[in-house]
Amino acid sequence: MSNYPLLNLFWTMLEFFLWILWFFLLFKILTDIFRNHDMGGWTKALWIIFVILLPFLGVLVYVIVNGRGMSQRDLKQAQQADDAFKQYVRDAAGTGGAGAAGGGHVDELAKLADLRSSGALTDEEYQKAKDKLLA
């Protein structure tokens, strides 16, 4: 039989979870301090010292003072990542903003297929043009 009651086990798990949550919040704030381009170097240094020397008070004050800015920077970073991903997909698919001049093979193949279906190209001419385009 154990001398560690079940309620103590739950309390220990809660404390462990809160410590993990605390470290997550602390690292989130430290990364936000470095990511904030509105602050100068000395301001960043003072915030870091404040957050490290008085962690609970420093984190609470930082969230109160810069909470709105933190969410705006997170949103801006997410939008930049989304835009970069979309641009990568456009470049990989060959349908970038430059169109056919930028190497839009998909657009050219669609035009060739339209010409073939309208009867302007024979199957042999279509195949030759397609092979030339993809080469």
Per-residue pLDDT of the chain (135 residues; tens, 9 = 90+): 568 788 888 999 999 999 999 999 999 999 999 999 889 999 999 999 999 999 889 999 999 999 888 989 999 999 999 999 988 888 887 655 544 444 567 778 888 888 888 888 888 888 888 888 787
**C-beta separation of 94 from 111 below 8 A:** no
Domain boundaries, the chain: 1-93, 98-135
Per-residue pLDDT, 113: 86
Measure the CA–CA gap between 108 and 101, rounded to whole angstroms: 10
- Beta carbons within 10 angstroms of residue 91's beta carbon: 13
Residue 103 has a pLDDT of 52
Q: Say what the pLDDT of residue 125 is.
A: 86
pTM equals 0.56
Report how far apart, in Å, the C-alpha atoms of 85 and of each of 29, 42, 81, 96 are. 26, 35, 6, 13
pLDDT number for residue 94 = 65
